[in-house]
Amino acid sequence: MEIASNLEVVFAPLVNHTASQRFSAGDPAGYARTLARFSEALEVETLVPGHGQITSEAILGRYLDYLQTLVHAARAAHRHGWTLEETLELTPLWDRFTVPPDLPSEAFYTGLHPYNLQRAYLELEPKK
């Protein structure tokens, strides 16, 4: 896939301004790989997210950090033999990814973390 580089504005409907997203399909590790390729291919000044305020390409780094941390935590929990319930209980949202409390949808975005962690964990389970 070839992506044009040196763009001033990019519309990214699957990105939002908080770096929190609900992974209802696919896997977070695959999304991280795709996002990393997207980020490496672009030199963009302005990113227009699917939700929220216009931002810079810096949000992509925050997304990647969250996704990679999420996948690493799920893999570590799975490797240690933790159940899904133990993983959810023992893996809170890391401070560096918290959503500003003055954001009207703060509770919604904060609530996405357990769901995302569950998706990452279940991707490691054998397929039936």
In a domain, 98, yes or no: yes
Count of domains for the chain? 1
Alpha-carbon dihedral 67, 73, 75, 78, rounded to 10 degrees: -140
In a domain, 50, yes or no: yes
Above pLDDT 90, what percent of the chain?
Answer: 20
- Domain boundaries, position 20: 9-122
In a domain, 128, yes or no: no
Which tens digits make up the pLDDT trace of 21-31?
A: 666 666 788 88
Residue 40: inside a domain: yes
Q: What is the pLDDT of residues 47-93, one digit of tens each?
A: 777 767 777 777 788 888 888 999 999 999 999 999 999 999 999 87
- pLDDT, average across residues 109-123: 85
Q: 4 lies in a domain?
A: no
d(CA 27, CA 57): 22
Task: Decide if 103 is inside a domain.
Answer: yes
Position 3 scores a pLDDT of: 45
**End-to-end Cα distance, the chain:** 32
What is residue 79's predicted lDDT score, i.e. its pLDDT? 96
The model's pTM:
0.76
